[in-house]
Structure 1
Amino acid sequence: MKRFCTAFLVGFIICSAPPAPVWAAGGATSGNNELMQRAEQLLSKYKDSEALLLFEQVISQTPDNLQALCKASVLHSRIGDRYADETRKLEHFSKAKEYAMRAYELNPGDAESNYAMAMALAMKAMMAGPRERLEGINQVKSFADAALVSNGEHAGAWHVLGRWYFKMANLNFAEKAASKVFFGGVCGEASNEKAAEAIAKAVAYAPNNIRYYYDLACVYKEMKNAAACISTLQRALTLTLETNEELELSRRCSIMLQEQQRM
């Protein structure tokens, strides 16, 4: 189960043709505004793939649309993480990084562009070899930190930072050796305690996200803090769920809770 939790932490088609852009002051278009509104509505209904297509349609018409680039990047990271097939994963993660880099170049101080970079790097690192994986993971923290400087209540950035702390605090022997050779050693500030603190803040700022509760419970389990683990899982199981992914996380929370209560 420890290996599973660690891996977990580290882990619609619009048929009409796009409308012709009508350029307005500042590079925005009324058509793109409508597309953005429709995309946000789809996101609120958990229709990630349909929303992604609309955000990418906006990008095709206005390549410097920061919001669309950030949203598309995060969605590619999220959708890619659901695939078991590595080819499909890599396709989405590569696109996530491309959009994140474009957004970051537009505004390197923006919370969302830094969050998109942190998430894209973390996801793509999991598909790389030991050196490339560690290199990607090492880069994650600077972007997560920058996102939180811009917006200290960014739940997603706190979650990514917490996963970074957890991963760096629990490197396996080969990863520790590679980190020492290529990067001068493991980051001394990484610990399970800091991972728990960061993910707990993600929970505080987004109290309806069951993934944050599950990841926090995994950290508490690694810390052998049964009381905190049980409390976190019990809170997770009170949430109203909408998607199959959330239901699966709820099932895993229930299993972990039973295990913790038997100890």
Structure 2
Amino acid sequence: MSLPHRIRALPFLVVCLTSSAAAQSAADRVATGDSLSRLLSPAEALREYELAVALDSSSSLARWKASGASIDVAKQLTSDHDRARRDRLYAVAQRHAEAAIALDSLDADAHFMLAQALGRLSLTKSGKARVRYGRRIYDEAARALALDSTHDGAHHVLGAWHAEVERLSGLTRTFAKLFLGGGFLGRADWDSATAHLEQAVQLRPEYVFHRLELAQIYLDRRRDAAAQDQLERILTLPNTDVLDWANKEEAMRLLSRLRERQSRR
């Protein structure tokens, strides 16, 4: 190659090398974020994932992992003083998940993260907005399952959706259908709630929150023995989520109440 051609090729080579280095660095950041997530350090993991996004904005993986870490940070902020920061983090989680879907619409994890972010964000909204969020939550979780039928998180979201709608009073559901555009709520049923949560537990039996949600559904359906089995199993599991300490406290509370009820029979 002549000298002029070499000189002209240099910018192209620099761009290629820089892109390769950036992609590798982004992968390293994601790997570090994963390690921190396993250590239940979501704030530190979020920083790593967002650095990965800054290095490689085309990474759907980095985007949906940043979404998940944002949710894990936000859901620990329970005081009124932290409300604004919590809501901002849920909005950040939504944006990351939507960006991940825009980059790869066939990524089940991206759709699941959006469903999860919307679910958390909906709790901060008015009744009418929550009905609208409910439709999107259902659609995104269903899309995740259509892409990956073994996605335990998507099964959990759909099961919880069915259960939450079934827990609404008849008057509330009728009002939502008539005035809030909530006609889709009619598809909710307890059998679907149970089936989805049972599948989530089967797919990831060590995850405390799956079992807690399933136990609550069993209690709603007066299946006390099945609920007790789930609650007792929860107390033997390791913590794998930042809220597992609280989930286990709730399991102990429900178990105590259940045993008290049984003793009165």
How would you bin the TM-score normalised by the shorter chain? 0.7 to 0.9
The runs of 5 or more residues in structure 2 that have no matched partner are 1-16
Give the match for residue 237 of structure 1.
235
User: In the TM superposition, what are the counterparts of 1:247-262 in structure 2 within 5 Å?
Assistant: 247-262=245-260
The 8 Å contact of residues 217 and 233 in structure 1, kept in 2 or not, is answered as yes
Give the match for residue 37 of structure 1.
31
Distance (whole Å) between structure 2 residues aligned to residue 220 and residue 194 of structure 1:
12
* Aligned-partner residue type, residue 229 of structure 1: A
Pairing partner for 2:176 from 171, 175, 178: 178
Give the match for residue 140 of structure 2.
143
1:130-186 deviations in Å (ceiling 9; x for gaps): 111110011111111111111111111111111111112122444541332232535
* Aligned-partner residue type, residue 259 of structure 1: R
The 8 Å contact of residues 210 and 246 in structure 1, kept in 2 or not, is answered as yes
State the shift of 1:251 in Å.
2.1
Q: Secondary structure at the match of 1:23?
A: helix
Bigger RCO (CA 8 Å, 6+ sep)? 1
**The 10-residue stretch of structure 1 (181-190 or 125-134) with the greater mean CA deviation from structure 2:** 181-190
State the shift of 1:236 in Å.
1.2
State the shift of 1:243 in Å.
6.4
The 8 Å contact of residues 22 and 31 in structure 1, kept in 2 or not, is answered as no
The 8 Å contact of residues 217 and 230 in structure 1, kept in 2 or not, is answered as yes
Root-mean-square deviation over aligned CA pairs: 1.9
State the shift of 1:242 in Å.
5.9
Distance (whole Å) between structure 1 residues aligned to residue 53 and residue 234 of structure 2:
36
* Aligned-partner residue type, residue 217 of structure 1: A
The 8 Å contact of residues 134 and 175 in structure 1, kept in 2 or not, is answered as no
* TM-score, normalising length: structure 1: 0.85
The 8 Å contact of residues 134 and 179 in structure 1, kept in 2 or not, is answered as no
Give the match for residue 157 of structure 2.
160
Give the match for residue 6 of structure 2.
none
Give the match for residue 221 of structure 1.
219
User: In the TM superposition, what are the counterparts of 1:72-83 in structure 2 within 5 Å?
Assistant: 72-83=66-77
1:43-100 deviations in Å (ceiling 9; x for gaps): 1211111111000011112112100100111221222122123212211111011111
What percent identity do the matched residue pairs reach?
22
The runs of 5 or more residues in structure 1 that have no matched partner are 1-20
* Aligned-partner residue type, residue 192 of structure 1: W
State the shift of 1:197 in Å.
1.4
Q: 1:242 to 1:37 in 2, by over 3 A?
A: closer
Give the match for residue 95 of structure 2.
98
Pairing partner for 1:116 from 113, 133, 137: 113
Looking at CA atoms only, which structure, 1 or 2, has the larger radius of gyration? 2
Question: How many residue pairs are counted as aligned between the two chains?
Answer: 241
1:197 aligns with 2:191: no
Between Structure 1 and Structure 2, which shows a larger proportion of helix residues?
Answer: 2
State the shift of 1:125 in Å.
1.1
